[in-house]
Chain A
Amino acid sequence: MAKPYPFSAIVGQDEMKDALLMAAVEPSLGGVLVFGDRGTGKSTAVRALAELVPELAGTRGCRYNCDPAHPAEPCPVCATAPKSARIKTRAPMVDLPLGATEDRVCGALDIEKALVSGERAFEPGLLAKAHRGFLYVDEVNLLEDHLVDLLLDVAASGVNVVEREGLSVRHPARFVLVGSGNPEEGELRPQLLDRFGLSVDVSSPRDIASRIEVLKRRDAYEQDAEAFHAKWARDEQRLAARIVAGRKAVGSVLLSERLMTMMAHLCMRLGVDGLRGELTLMRAARAKAALSRRKEATLEDVLAVAPMALRHRLRRDPLDEAGSKTRVDRAISEVAGEPVGHA
């Protein structure tokens, strides 16, 4: 496959780009859901993201993508591998194809070994492959429900447990789940929606200037991908450096008591159930601040991330013709006006 279209060359769609970068900086955010029109660069952005993420330390021949410092228990390679087998690998970007079976996703009995030598061995699946990287599900709303359940479960716990056909295996599978889809073809169940950390809506650019820009860049990329990459290399490097710095800094970003109170107010005002909304809001605000190389999250950070962290957690209201974004915005202006403004 050719090198994907560069991330920084994507025209507009700032919210989607921000959400993906935040997820790359703070994997515990719990994944990103991108819903929107066709042909808006959803897949392009996700594939480009993997190119920006720094390389990982790994072991040659390892099929569980183990961190050499903490090898996975069932991995036969890493337990015995010498130091010389250490390599640097790209952060995996695993595409989950729609037709994938559960065996393929979780891993299953290795048929080859079973047939040839009668040995019962475990063949790791896509979840193992995505460890420490990204798992991308295009058309997540068309995926079988049981597979979506399984994915979200593993994404939340970071561990894949396989108990079947006489196999009993558990291995780490920590990845950033990115789902995309077109809402016209079917909605995700609200329970599943809630488990994605961030959710962004994308739409085709509505003004002619940015459309022309899209056409120009895409055309240039199609005609000569290498030259196009060379042109964008500096922007890509700068962005990659931001991610590296952000990852380092995200743990130490401060969040004032005042902002925490405001987040709680916001979630209450919107009637978001559970604490997941607040937690995500907090993490996202930190990630946003870390990406902008700030030591402390500001009100602007919170306001910028609130729509994407909360909009998919609202209860559906068939009466409200305004989109969920407007509802979040409305609540923000109400809440942000009072407690924060005075303090």
Chain B
Amino acid sequence: MPETTDGIEINARWADALLSAQILVAGAGLIGGIRLRAGTGPVRDCWLETVHALFNAGSGCGLPWIRVPASSAAGRLTGGIDIAATLAAGRPVHENGILARADGGFVILGMAERLSDTSAAIIGRALDDGVAVGSSGRIQPARFSLIALDESAGEEEDLPPALADRLTLDLQLDGLSIHEAVSDPDLVRRLAECLPSPGACAAAMKAVTVPDEVRGAAAAISLALPESSVRRALDLIRVARLLAVLGQVTQVSPEHLAVAARLCLGINLDPQSEQPQLPEVSESDDGEDRPPSPPEAPAGEEQPDTQVSHPDPSEEDMLVAAAQASRAVLAALDRPDRSMAAKLARTGKSGGIKTGSRRGRPAGIVSRPPYAEARPDVVSTLRAAIPWQRLRNPDFALRADGSVPPLRILPNDFRYIRFRHRTESTAIFAVDASGSTAMERLAEAKGAIELLLGDCYVRRDQVALISFRGSSAETLLEPTRSLVRAKRSLTGLPGGGPTPLAGAIRRSLEIAGMVQRRGQSPLIVYLTDGSGNIALDGKADRVRAGEDAQMLARQGAALGYRSILIDISRRPRESTRELARSMQAQYCPLPIVSASAVNAIVSAELSKGAGQ
């Protein structure tokens, strides 16, 4: 690893970035690819140019280096019939997809966090199998490495998991300044010299042996990761092997594994730097508190012992290091864990407008198919083609008998209708009708629902109503848009009795599940004072009732339903706020309930979901 070039100091992070570039180029076609976390900018460009130059310096001259936007349709990735050429030739002409064209080279996927799950699955399959299957069933070799440019900014954006799991290296360039990112032809030349000759890399990797304790450590590290995919361990071994090849040794050493962990997982397990670091990270004690951690540390020490016939001290050291490593992994990964609800909301963004939809309201005419297999719209296609007819056919004119000569329509005349379609929202009201909520507040809640229903009719949203009192919660109103039915069931809403809050939450979750299965997006609105005193089994036990409610609230959060908790008690209490936090609900204390205030809160939330 060159430390300086022309007297310029290369800092550790950029050195790692350059090492990643070397691994990527040496392992082209052998490892899946790299996840490059960086915004657009000179640093990222500099790194990409370095990789490209390295690739060209070695085997890659003239091999594909294809940049792909994440919005590429699945059909473009796998290929299909080339319409223009087919029409010209009079026989089907197949066009290679992007993946097949990239065979032997690199695919650079821009804005990878915007990639659709379908495209991600297609790319993932190609990475696994090394072949691309076209829509017409042709199988073509597609051995490429992927550089996924991950520009995700917030917690709610992420690479599709099908893709993220298959990317071997993980490089973070944000925070590097342009002065640190140095690269020049001379440096590239020196980096390229370390690479094995093209084609020889696979053979060289075969020659490298991997000691059992390194495998054990890799397995321990992968087990400690939150998603704990076996692929991570395989990746670590692969990269460690490549590092050994680059270092021209024939055995993978623990140091190689440590470097591999840094390049693949972004965690520092360096044996030297670990001593000062470890106390620092375990200060929070989070690493040890996690349930998976304690059982695996002993497992890491025991298992290889039984497998390997004669353990020697260095191996023991390695295993201790592995166990520590797994703890360090946990600590390093203990970022503010993204909430389950937010994570799920990414997939279940059904409240929002769906463009690229196949049905709904026409929202303009586009020259690109809004989804694969879209059929051209005849009228707008003709309209687009007609102005060109005289150009395409100089004789074009109405004939004497009034007939029209045939139109010449070219593929670029095709126009498609784009649809926008907003999935319906369903507001599920769980209204506390117990004695603790006084009657007048119940009346206001009823009023709010009626107001909302009026709005919902316009917005094509639906409303469901659950009331809870006595020993159980009952569904007064299945999801409906009918104002009449709703009013009738509301007038019959009696009050008084204890508060089966847990039962109400359970009932709401059931309805929300039903709503979601229908393709609508649920919004649960709890109107309660939060003091449940009936447990799920119907017994009056305040402590159990509270525990049950908390458990169900967490379940609701895990299922990812949007919810609002409107606290209608005179004095809002901390326990109610706590409950709202458990269900990751929006918490609105409303000591003086008024129908219009409730309506405002819910309407805002509904339109927020729709406006995304």
Binding site for B on A (CB under 8 A): 1, 37-41, 43, 95, 97-101, 104, 111-112, 115-116, 126, 138-139, 142, 182, 184-186, 189-190, 204-209, 211-212, 214-216, 218-219, 222-224, 316, 318-319, 321
Q: Name the CB-closest residue of B to A318.
A: B509
B227 touches A319 (CB 8 A): no
B230 touches A211 (CB 8 A): yes
A111 touches B347 (CB 8 A): no
> Does residue B320 face the partner (Cβ distance < 8 Å to A)?
no
> Does residue B265 face the partner (Cβ distance < 8 Å to A)?
no
Among the 9-residue stretches B120-128, B425-433, B562-570, the one with 4 or more Cβ atoms under 8 Å from chain A is: B120-128
Which B residues touch A208, using CB under 8 A? Answer: 216, 219-220, 223, 296, 299-300, 303-304
26 A/B residue pairs, CB under 8 Å, sorted by A:
A1-B131, A38-B231, A39-B230, A39-B232, A40-B230, A97-B122, A97-B125, A99-B122, A101-B372, A115-B90, A115-B91, A185-B347, A205-B230, A208-B219, A208-B303, A208-B304, A209-B299, A209-B303, A211-B222, A211-B223, A212-B219, A215-B219, A219-B210, A223-B206, A224-B206, A318-B552
A318 touches B118 (CB 8 A): no
Give the bracket for the number of chain B residues in contact with chain A.
35 or more
Looking at the assembled complex, report how far the CB atom of A192 sits from the nearest CB atom of chain B, in whole angstroms. 11
Q: How far is the CA of A205 from the CA of B233 in the complex (A)?
A: 12
Which A residues touch B402, using CB under 8 A? Answer: none
Which B residues touch A216, using CB under 8 A? Answer: 215
A101 touches B135 (CB 8 A): yes
B559 touches A318 (CB 8 A): yes
Which B residues touch A207, using CB under 8 A? Answer: 299, 303
Among the 9-residue stretches B70-78, B524-532, B595-603, the one with 4 or more Cβ atoms under 8 Å from chain A is: B70-78
Which A residues touch B373, using CB under 8 A? Answer: 101
Chain B contacts with A in 204-258, Cβ cutoff 8 A: 205-206, 210, 212, 215-216, 218-220, 222-223, 227-234, 237-238
**What 0/1 readout, one digit per residue, does chain B (526-543) give for beta carbons within 8 Å of chain A?**
000000000010000000
Binding site for A on B (CB under 8 A): 74-75, 77-78, 81, 86, 90-92, 117-118, 121-122, 125, 128-131, 133, 135-137, 139, 161-162, 165, 205-206, 210, 212, 215-216, 218-220, 222-223, 227-234, 237-238, 296, 299-300, 303-304, 306-307, 347, 372-373, 506, 509-510, 513, 517, 536, 551-552, 555, 559
Which A residues touch B300, using CB under 8 A? Answer: 208
Q: Which 8 A-B pairs have the closest CB atoms?
A: A99-B74, A211-B219, A39-B231, A39-B229, A209-B303, A318-B509, A38-B165, A139-B121
Task: Indicate whether A97 sits within 8 Å of B307 (C-beta atoms), given known contacts A39-B231, A190-B517.
Answer: no
Task: Indicate whether A99 sits within 8 Å of B219 (C-beta atoms), given known contacts A38-B165, A40-B230.
Answer: no
Looking at the assembled complex, report how far the CB atom of B223 sits from the nearest CB atom of chain A, in whole angstroms. 6
Which B residues touch A222, using CB under 8 A? Answer: 238
Q: Name the CB-closest residue of A to B508.
A: A318
Task: Indicate whether A212 sits within 8 Å of B133 (C-beta atoms), given known contacts A38-B161, A186-B347, A189-B517.
Answer: no
B77 touches A99 (CB 8 A): yes
Looking at the assembled complex, report how far the CB atom of B444 sits from the nearest CB atom of chain A, in whole angstroms. 29
B215 touches A215 (CB 8 A): yes
B223 touches A98 (CB 8 A): no
Looking at the assembled complex, report how far the CB atom of B95 sits from the nearest CB atom of chain A, in whole angstroms. 14
Looking at the assembled complex, report how far the CB atom of A285 sits from the nearest CB atom of chain B, in whole angstroms. 31
A126 touches B559 (CB 8 A): no
B91 touches A318 (CB 8 A): no
